[in-house]
Chain A
Amino acid sequence: MAEASKEIPKPLPQITPITQPFWEAAASRKLVMQRCSDCRSWVWCPRPACVECGSEGLQWAPVSGRGTVFAFTVIREVVGRALRGFEKDIPYITAWIDLEEGPRICSNVVQCPVEKVVIGMAVEVVFEEAGQGIFLPKFKPIR
């Protein structure tokens, strides 16, 4: 695992016409999500039609960026098919965050010691530059 090799980059998100508004907003430090204009469901991740009712009337809307940790894990070892680009971050926290508006988003909990993270912890969004002008929404504890 520790053998020396060239730096391996982390994967960047693929930006598609459907996801572009999300990443454009993130680059200006704003969190937006699709919302169905028919059934009012929030939709994540971005897609062409509402996952609840099938309506194509999805519109982008801002969300507060505040939420709670629904589930998390601490990744302490590279196992199986893990990407080596993350080895230097170990241990790190990956989580599902329930936003206060309702939708659930996958992200990391950052600025938090791994022994401090708990389910139900209040968090808020921060934006981390990932390269090529892409900013990733991540979540830090609300103190």
Chain B
Amino acid sequence: MEPNSRLSGKYAIAGLGMVIGLPEKELEKRKADLPGHPMLNHAIASPLVDLSAKDIEAEAARRAIEDAGLSNKDIDGAVHVHGGPRSGRGVVEHMDAFPRMLGLPVNFYYHCGRGGGWGTIGIITALSFLELGLAKYVAIAGSREDWTRSHRKEVRDQGIRGQINPATVAGMWGPTYGRTAAAHEHSMFAARHKHEYGTTETQFGAGAIQVRAWACKNPLARMYGRPATIEDYLQSPIYIDPYHLMDMAVTTDGAVAMVLTSMERARDCPKPPVAVLGIGYGDAQGGQWWEGAAHYTKLPVLKAKEAAFGQAGISIKDIDVAQLYDCFTAELIFQMEDYGWCAKGEGGAYVEAGHIGPGGDTPVNTSGGLLSAYHMADLTGISESVFQLRGEAGERQVPDARLTFVTGHGGEVFAPGMCSIHTTLVLGRP
């Protein structure tokens, strides 16, 4: 298939920078065990002490600019990405953020993002400015400090862990009924998939175990050095039916930044360019709203996938490695089905057969994903894609990885229980 978009491959990620938090003692131990390991250059001690989200964003952006072989004065556009007003921090506190801290001479700077698709939404924004000729090099940065926030006494004592008070959010009906965490909604997607397709606890666990096995090959992953078996999973307590702790993503302090520019300019940068080949966006209201049971265990993938894959001129069979939004284990199963690796209802069996872990024929979430590495929304998958496509992924490198895609997922859960958005970002070696 030929790309159906003239923009496919016209722009590229030329630089990547990141800082990811690891518990201080754990970080010291890893540095001692693995002296000079390149992944540990991206690590900082967590919880954050004397560092704000702005500080780590600026540091990530500085590193991305350096990685692209550029200097601060080259960056003429900047985008701050975040998960939207429910992500725990208002936009206001970011009003004086990384472009000001680094003195970037930008023509524009603003915030965007939603749900778990902020990285992709940031790239859409950057590409518009590049295409309009308003910038040559755009820096994108976003951060989270969820680990730090959940460990701050004043936040805990309010009874609200890093989240705005949901009682004040019009339309947010769930919290009144004790549905206060993403896990409370997502666990019901899993329960329903079990009910409709006979998906088993072992099948959810199989996803967690395989992604964990990847994390054990990535010293930057939160769960590095902590392999787990299906027996470990099944013997662990259930937290939120049907979910065990291992079904749920880790919380993270960190920041990820990148520099976007034209492919022409990216070829002059020191690192191999990562081509943006296709981008798609799906909203559950466009085609899934109120269709009841048939769509409850399906994500708004279809439009996102068709757009992104069509622009890139690819099909699912062409994909060498994928970075899927694994906020919970059921989302892995849904995406196996929704992207067409297997039929609807067969995702549990597909994952259980071992396709996605190390040695499988469909390598997924090679960093350890949101489940076992770090949760920077889709920036987790974007950063891992850059490592894979550049051949920098070390022990977890998929041989000759040329084509990958990253998904984002989330947004508000709206009646009748749908998860709102889905993003698909196809990246490749030019």
CA distance A16 to B170 in the complex (A): 8
A86 at the interface (CB under 8 A from B): yes
> Which chain A residue lies CB-closest to B194?
A119
Interface size class of A (residues with CB under 8 A): 35 or more
Q: Annotate A69-109 by CB proximity to B: 1 below 8 A, 0 otherwise.
A: 01111111101111111100100101110100001111110
A5 on interface, CB distance cutoff 8 Å: yes
Q: How many A-B residue pairs have CB under 8 A?
A: 138
* Chain B residue contacts of A81, Cβ below 8 A: 88, 150, 160-163, 180-182
B176, A130: Cβ atoms closer than 8 Å: yes
Could you say which residues of chain A place their CB within 8 Å of the CB of B176? 10-13, 130, 136
> How many interface residues does chain B have, given as a range?
35 or more
Return B360 CB to nearest CB of chain A, in Å.
29
- A5-42: CB near B (< 8 Å → 1, else 0) gives 10010111110100100000000000000000000010
Whether B159 sits at the interface, judged by CB under 8 Å, is: yes
Question: Is A108's CB under 8 angstroms from B170's CB?
Answer: no
Q: How far is the CA of A44 from the CA of B415 in the complex (A)?
A: 7
- Known A11-B176, A80-B181; contact A45-B240, beta-carbon cutoff 8 A: no
Interchain CA distance A105-B338 in the complex, whole Å: 26
- Whether A106 pairs with B173 at a CB distance below 8 angstroms is yes
| A-side contacts of B88, CB under 8 Å | 81
Are B181 and A82 within 8 A (Cβ)? yes
Segment touching A, from B96-104, B210-218, B288-296, B403-411: B288-296
Taking the complex as formed, is B187 at the interface, i.e. its CB lies under 8 A from any CB of chain A? yes
Report the Cα distance A11→B174, complex, angstroms.
10
Closest A residue by C-beta to B195: A119
Q: In residues 120-166 of chain B, which contact A (Cβ within 8 Å)?
A: 150, 157, 159-163, 165-166
Neighbouring B residues of A126 by C-beta, 8 Å: none
Q: Is the CB of A73 within 8 A of B188?
A: yes
Residues of B close to A98: CB separation below 8 A: 292
A80 touches B150 (CB 8 A): yes
- When the two chains form their complex, are residues B173 and A73 in contact, meaning their CB atoms are under 8 A apart? no
Neighbouring A residues of B416 by C-beta, 8 Å: 44, 96, 103-104
B173 touches A45 (CB 8 A): yes
State in angstroms the CA–CA spacing of A140 and B12 once bound together.
56
Nearest 4 interchain pairs by C-beta: A11-B167, A104-B416, A8-B159, A84-B159
Interface residues of B (CB under 8 A from A): 88, 150, 157, 159-163, 165-171, 173-184, 187-189, 191-192, 195, 237-243, 245, 248, 251, 285, 289-290, 292-293, 296, 415-417
Binding site for B on A (CB under 8 A): 5, 8, 10-14, 16, 19, 41, 44-45, 47, 51-52, 70-77, 79-86, 89, 92, 94-96, 98, 103-108, 119, 130, 136, 138
